Amino acid sequence: MTIRPNSIEARDTAFHLHGYTNPATHLEIGPLVIERGDGVHVFDNQGNKYIEAMAGLWSAALGFSESRLVDAATKQMQQLPYYHSFAHRGHTPAAELADTLVNMAPGNMSKAFFTNSGSEAIDTAIKLIWYRSNALGKPEKKKILVRNRAYHGVTVAAAALTGLPANHASFDQIVPTLRLTCPHYWREGLDGETEEQFTNRLVEELENMILAEGPETIAAFFGEPVLGAGGVVTPPKGYWAAVQKILKKYDILLVADEVICGFGRTGQMFGCNTYDITPDMMTLSKQLSSSYMPSSALLMNEHVFEPLMNEANKIGTLGHGYTGSGHPVACAVANETIRIIREDNLVEHAANMGEYLRAGLNNLSDHPLVGEVRGVGLIAAVELVTNKESKTALEKVGQLGLQTNALAIENGFFSRPMMDAMAFCPPLIIQKTEIDDLLGRFEKTLDQSL
Ligand code: PLP
């Protein structure tokens, strides 16, 4: 593409450092400028239309033109555009959202702490878990159990929990983490190993690691009910029940990272509902506000909250909080998002549309480039391979994914390559005809990738 002088493309290339982008390549090719959205579609500044089959970043649950969210934001902007939540200050949107979240979440939650991004919610969870260990007179109880290919964000602490290579290469780590095998049966299962045996092996690995490190040194296990950015990895049979049993046995907190799974994505309101998980803490973001405003929350049960409260009472305050915690406009948008998800039965709709999408993707299983189709609810991935036997793609891992992604954009839809897997996570409002359109474009893309 030629970048015209003084165009948006030229200004972006000159001044904007993009996350998750190769800055050197960006100087050559510039940005794809997205100008407007309508339902599940977005349009670039050349007038090209794309099916946003990732809902942005797994996040715009209600698509790109929900006027009720715009109205909720406008009304709140006019009434009280900003206020904070320090020093006992409160306002209606934050109190309403805290009440709604605590009462709709599984696991007998007790309190909601507001943050602005998934990473901040994870950071806050780590800080409060360490604070709690100190409060309980267990200052050595600090290590965090995480899985390979997990994604928990990019702030200094959250990035340490994330288990993807690009988030660690040349970055420094400060959190003591213990890494476990990614629960991906298709990729990590041994020859001849059944799914149940795979689960048992992972649970044994977990227990052995706890015993080797000393349970008294381990504070928490962080896990996405379905690993998202690591490749849409659904857990093997019996995994979450067995993991929870071990964590209980050794007094280790369970933090469910629902930043992607929350609010209907897995076909039930939370990933924890889908997999019968009873967490001590939950992190929420993305679909919480349909991402129309940055917003996130950390929920905790009484078992976590009580020691925190006692410690903060001794000190005189809980020394943590953000200027934007419980931002009134973000909370108003989140409240309206949850109302729409409930009123329009979008959780059930997502379950039905997800089944339809996965059936369509499964129809492509015999395609020479399709290694595995996986997913649950309205989140799915197709693992691309060039050799089905060895489950390998091109020589350079991720190259086939990148090539296919470039073709997908040319063919008018946005997926997301995760190494050599293509992800699908469309807005919850997607309809069958739009899924048919997406599947047709994806099949054409696969044929062209051959
Ligand atoms: N946790 C999960 C499961 C995520 O998928 C993400 C982002 O994709 C995060 C945390 C971090 O969220 P943010 O990008 O808002 O910091």
Q: What is the pLDDT along the chain (450 residues), one digit of tens a residue?
A: 678 889 999 999 999 999 999 999 999 999 999 999 999 999 999 999 999 999 999 999 999 999 999 999 999 999 999 999 999 999 999 999 999 999 999 989 999 999 999 999 999 999 999 999 999 999 999 999 999 999 999 999 999 999 999 999 999 988 999 999 999 999 999 999 999 999 999 999 999 999 999 999 999 999 999 999 999 999 999 999 999 999 999 999 999 999 999 999 999 999 999 999 999 999 999 999 999 999 999 999 999 999 999 999 999 999 999 999 999 999 999 999 999 999 999 999 999 999 999 999 999 999 999 999 999 999 999 999 999 999 999 999 999 999 999 999 999 999 999 999 999 999 999 999 999 999 999 999 999 998
Radius of gyration of the chain measured on its C-alpha atoms: 22
CA of 287 to the centre of ligand 1 (A): 11
Instruction: Return the biggest CA–CA distance within the chain.
Output: 65
Structure tokens that stand for 140 in this block: 């050595």
Q: Is 224 in the pocket of ligand 1 (CB under 6 A)?
A: yes
CA 396 – CA 275 distance, rounded (Å)? 35
Q: How is the chain split into domains, by residue range?
A: 32-65+345-449, 69-343
Cβ atoms within 10 Å, residue 179: 15
Is it true that 32-65+345-449 and 69-343 share their CATH fold? no
- Enter the tokens of residue 256: 């469910």
Task: Count Cβ atoms within 10 A of the Cβ of residue 161 and give its class: 0-12 exposed, 13-18 middle, 19 or more buried.
Answer: buried
Q: Which residues lie across from 12 on neighbouring strands? A: none
State the burial class of residue 386 (Cβ atoms within 10 Å of its Cβ: 0-12, 13-18, 19+): middle
Instruction: Spell out where 19-108 has E strands.
Output: 34-38, 41-44, 49-52
Q: Is any ligand 1 atom within 6 A of the Cβ of residue 117?
A: yes
Q: State in Å: Cα 259 to ligand 1 middle.
A: 6
For domain 32-65+345-449, the question of CATH label 3.40.30.10 is answered with no
Closest CA to 393 of 360, 364, 422: 422
On whether the CB atoms of residues 294 and 117 are closer than 8 A, the answer is yes
Ligand 1 pocket check for 115: Cβ under 6 Å: no
Handedness of CA 433, 436, 437, 438 (dihedral sign): positive
Q: Using CA atoms, how far apart are residues 381 and 155, in angstroms rounded to an integer?
A: 26
Query: Residue whose CA is closest, atom 1 of ligand 1?
Result: 152
**CATH assignment, 69-343:** 3.40.640.10
43 forms beta bridges with 36, 49
For the CA of 120, the nearest atom of ligand 1: 16
**Alpha-carbon span 413 to 52, nearest angstrom:** 6
Q: Tell me the CA–centroid distance for residue 106 and ligand 1, in Å.
A: 20
* Pocket test residue of 18, 58, 59, 119 for ligand 1, highest count of atoms within 8 A of CB: 119
Calpha distance 290→250 (Å, rounded): 37
What predicted TM-score, i.e. pTM, was given to this entire model?
Answer: 0.98
Nearest to 223 by CA among 277, 168, 154: 277
Task: Give the helix/strand (H/E) hosting 331.
Answer: helix 328-343
Q: Whose CA is nearest to atom 10 of ligand 1?
A: 152
